[in-house]
Amino acid sequence: MKRLRSKEGSVEFQLEAWEGSMLAAVLGRYPCLPPAHQPLSKGGQVPDGAANQLLLEEALAEQRGENKQQLDRLLADPKRFRESKGGWRLSLARGDMEWLLQVLNDVRIGSWARLGSPEDLDNVRGEATGPDVGAMELAGYFQMSFLSGLDSPRPARPAG
């Protein structure tokens, strides 16, 4: 994956054919993080904790629903995510980049949580856990690729 160009407030990436397919597959797993993964308080010393935890879970479910709709629109918009010669093009507004990184983080952490939050992935590899391990590792790959692309200098424009 490489950054092609940036305009005021937007950035465009070129993805290899496999990267475009894998990005769509990883994003298709969203939302992945279980609602109960984010407790209101780790200590449990919150007044009316059960009711407030329910409110938190409802708010998170609503936010995830909105994110899923936005994600579906992104993947269906040929101006933003489209097949091109030799791969895929992804065009994002700068604000969408942060949002996409958060969605990828949900998939990465959600896949890790589904695996039982292991400290060592070598102990969980196998046929039954393969999809979660793969999604977790690919989500991390895309997070790092997007961040690296944002940090890299802009490609030089051809003379003439």
Alpha-carbon distances, residue 74 vs 88, 99, 120 (angstroms): 13, 12, 34
The 3-state DSSP class for residue 152 equals coil
**How confident is the model at residue 109, as a pLDDT?**
94
Q: Cis bond leading into 39, ω under 30°?
A: no
**Looking at residue 1, what DSSP letter applies?**
-
What's the confidence (pLDDT) of residue 136?
93
Digit-coded pLDDT (tens) for 9-42: 889 999 999 999 999 999 999 999 877 666 666 6
How much is the pLDDT for 160?
A: 47
- C-alpha 160/C-alpha 157 separation (Å) is 9
Q: Model's pTM, two decimal places? A: 0.83
Look at residue 40 in the predicted model and tell me its pLDDT. Answer: 63
Per the prediction, the chain carries an average pLDDT of 85
* pLDDT (tens digit per residue) in 67-111: 999 999 999 999 999 999 889 999 998 789 999 999 999 999 999
Going by pLDDT thresholds of 50, 70 and 90, the confidence category of residue 51 is confident
Are β-strands 10-16 and 81-84 bridged in parallel, bridged antiparallel, or unpaired? unpaired
DSSP character for 129? T
Q: Residue 44: its pLDDT value, please?
A: 61
- The secondary structure of 60-127, three-state, reads HHHHHHHHHHHHHHHHHCCCCEEEECCEEEEEEEHHHHHHHHHHHHHHHHHHHHHCCCCCCHHHCCCC
Angle between helices 17-27 and 94-114 (to 10 degrees): 70
Look at 27 and 117; give whichever has higher pLDDT: 27
pLDDT tens digits, 144-156 = 999 987 765 555 5
